[in-house]
Structure 1
Amino acid sequence: MTLLSVTGVSRRFGDVTALDDVSLDIVQGEFFALLGPSGCGKTTLLRVLAGFERPDTGTVTLDGADLLALPAHRRPVNLMFQSYALFPHMTVEKNIAYGLHREGLPKDEIRARVAGVLATIGLPGAAKRRPNQLSGGQRQRVALARAIVKRPRLLLLDEPLSALDKKVRAEMQLELKRLQHEVGITFVVVTHDQEEAMSLADRIAVFSEGRVEQVDAPVSLYRRPRTRFVADFVGANNLFDGVLRDGGVEVPGVGSGPLPCEPPGDLPAGSPVVLSVRPENVRFDDEGPLAGTVMDTSFFGGVSRVAVEVGGLTRPVELTVPGTAPADPGKPVRLSWNPDRAILIGPA
């Protein structure tokens, strides 16, 4: 069931268009990510949902009711800030209870809710501590507890893990997902971190220059990008600009014949296209259509990333191989891939 519906929302700041006719539907209980580079409009949309910005055009409904008609403090929406914004002079329990006191709830109910949410985030013994006595991950949990204790219909998270180091961030990604399922609140998270979005979200909306490029589940987004921007932004990729021919994609300047791909169902021969091949789908092949020279190899524990310079291409072709690289820099190699692992994006 659709909980939040954003239809035709635009927001301009002078000559800058932050949001350009954005439409999205978010389902009840979903973990939804807004992903894109800095300045793409994702945080502006979050501020519109929270009530801190007013769109120039468009509508936003929550459960069918006009969300834009409500002031920020009356919306059944809570926002967890990137900086956590905890009160340093208050204890953990008072930080969490602050919003409930402002609502005038009975003290017994406040105590019960705070105790319950502290147990949920795994910090039942931290009630009397102050924020400066907590680790970064613990402060993040307290900020999340303060956001969910009011039981909003929709929780907005603005780059919630950006202040954490890599190891703690990975742990908190799992924690966020667990908490979201446990409390049953719809989460909308803003991030520029692809791995974070892919690991957390049920669906992702990829933004570019104020517009939504694609909305999809993480696996579909990775395997079937619909635009060049999505193919280039989400994960590592090899992109070949060319023209569709009967035998594959002909790339100007690469005189090795058409590059392999599955026959398209809706694109005629002669169409300009982008051929997308993920590094893990490229392999060394003595009979392969691409000839090049190994430029560099990088070892990442279980796998190695190899960069191959191919004449006629402005960017090296990347491939991922298990273990250590079988070829040293300077060695001539040939490359290929299975046609069904190459994605056609058209027109270019």
Structure 2
Amino acid sequence: MLTIDRVSRRFGEVTALEDVSLEIGQGEFFALLGPSGCGKTTLLRILAGFETPDSGTVTLDGADLLAKPPNKRPVNLMFQSYALFPHMTVAKNVAYGLEQEKLDRAEIRHRVGEVLETVGLSDLGGRKPHQLSGGQRQRVALARAIVKRPRLLLLDEPLSALDKKVRADMQLELKRLQHEVGITFVVVTHDQEEAMSLADRIAVFSAGRVCQVDEPVALYERPRTRFVADFVGANNLFEGVFTDGGVKTEAFGLLRGTGQATEGAAALLAVRPEKVRLDAGEGLAGTVADVSFYGGVSHVSVQVAGHPKPVLAAVQGASRVRPGEQVVLGWAPEDAVIINA
């Protein structure tokens, strides 16, 4: 439905986007994930019409989107701050865009009632924004965005203002809403968990470029670059040279894994913490440096001679090991990923 082809945007000497190409399907929940300053919000603003790229094209259903002014695009942007009108009721906030289109009053009433029911705010239509919780204000902003039935809904860090519990609830709510209304969602976030739980596919950005586009599970289990392996979730990275189907390291010899790299070239072996065993019969010997308990999971940091950073292992429940204990770390070769460095 949406095709972004070789889009670049520069601000003076700063390159915000460089040759970005993406294809987003009808009804897809698509996430732009990356650290602050990587260009993801600039791309969102280009789609909304608030920025013009220096080069490249953007088409929606085959038509040139860049040729249309912001108010003529079938696109809505939900701001990070929600940007609700404080002097208007919930119902008036939601109706505002429809009133600007001079729709019939009965039609406006019907569509506002329908969308407030969809977001679970039917009983709060008469309240002002200051009388609502953070989660409720976010629902109002969503209702206002979807009531105009855009082809594309852009969300800029939509859950960043919410606390952890409300954010988890709203992630489920967003996913339900997207399936229910059938609008294509493009969400910008720097929160990996948020992107993984919400999106059908994720584009990982770094320094204005797209590093990898994949479904959440593939992105997590098969990162293709060092940046993706390091940015998306926790990872243990071992540096060496690719040879004989593994990564040959100075400190630990040949470490086997899955994937290919250039023979004789610098390579990385990436192992997720949950794949690391603490009681391996043979492997890397180390000393437990720290144990952190997170309820369902414990993170165990192990200092291994010859490795610059502690190796992280994740174990279910409360860990039985204590700081200072000696352990032997190991993992199955199929659980380790080889990446070109």
Q: How far 1:268 moved relative to its partner? A: 5.0
Relative to structure 1, is the Cα distance of residues 146 and 268 closer, same or farther in structure 2, using a 3 angstrom cutoff? closer
2:297 is aligned to: 303
Relative to structure 1, is the Cα distance of residues 180 and 330 closer, same or farther in structure 2, using a 3 angstrom cutoff? same
Equivalences for 1:8-19 in 2 at 5 Å? 8-19=6-17
Structure 1 window deviating more from structure 2 (216-225 vs 300-309): it is 300-309
Equivalences for 1:138-177 in 2 at 5 Å? 138-177=136-175
Equivalences for 1:141-290 in 2 at 5 Å? 141-246=139-244, 248-252=246-250, 254=251, 256-262=252-258, 264=259, 266-267=260-261, 269-290=263-284
Q: For 2:111, what is the secondary structure of its paired residue?
A: helix
Q: Do 2:156 and 2:188's aligned partners in 1 also have CA atoms closer than 8 Å?
A: yes
- Structure 1: distance between partners of 2:57 and 2:142: 28
Equivalences for 1:319-330 in 2 at 5 Å? 319-330=313-324
2:70 is aligned to: 72
| Counterpart code for 2:13 | D
Q: For 2:171, what is the secondary structure of its paired residue?
A: helix
| Counterpart code for 2:12 | G
Relative to structure 1, is the Cα distance of residues 286 and 132 closer, same or farther in structure 2, using a 3 angstrom cutoff? closer
Q: For 2:186, what is the secondary structure of its paired residue?
A: strand
Q: Do 1:153 and 1:185's aligned partners in 2 also have CA atoms closer than 8 Å?
A: yes
| Counterpart code for 1:51 | G
Q: Do 2:77 and 2:155's aligned partners in 1 also have CA atoms closer than 8 Å?
A: yes
Q: How far 1:325 moved relative to its partner? A: 1.7
Q: How far 1:258 moved relative to its partner? A: 1.4
1:316 is aligned to: 310
Q: How far 1:286 moved relative to its partner? A: 4.5
> For this pair of structures, how many residues does the alignment match?
341
2:288 equivalent among 294, 298, 304? 294
- Structure 2: distance between partners of 1:268 and 1:90: 61
Q: How far 1:269 moved relative to its partner? A: 3.8
- Structure 2: distance between partners of 1:67 and 1:287: 60
Q: For 2:302, what is the secondary structure of its paired residue?
A: strand
Q: Do 1:294 and 1:330's aligned partners in 2 also have CA atoms closer than 8 Å?
A: yes
Q: For 2:176, what is the secondary structure of its paired residue?
A: helix
TM-score normalised by L of structure 1: 0.96
- Structure 2: distance between partners of 1:247 and 1:101: 64
- Structure 2: distance between partners of 1:36 and 1:293: 33
- Structure 2: distance between partners of 1:126 and 1:88: 15
| Counterpart code for 1:148 | I
- Structure 2: distance between partners of 1:146 and 1:163: 18
Q: For 1:178, what is the secondary structure of its paired residue?
A: helix
1:332 is aligned to: 326
| Counterpart code for 1:159 | E
2:125 is aligned to: 127
Q: How far 1:70 moved relative to its partner? A: 0.2
The two structures, once aligned, show a CA RMSD in angstroms of: 1.1
Q: Do 1:304 and 1:322's aligned partners in 2 also have CA atoms closer than 8 Å?
A: yes
Percent identity over the alignment is 71
TM-score normalised by L of structure 2: 0.98
Q: Do 2:261 and 2:267's aligned partners in 1 also have CA atoms closer than 8 Å?
A: no
- Structure 1: distance between partners of 2:256 and 2:182: 46
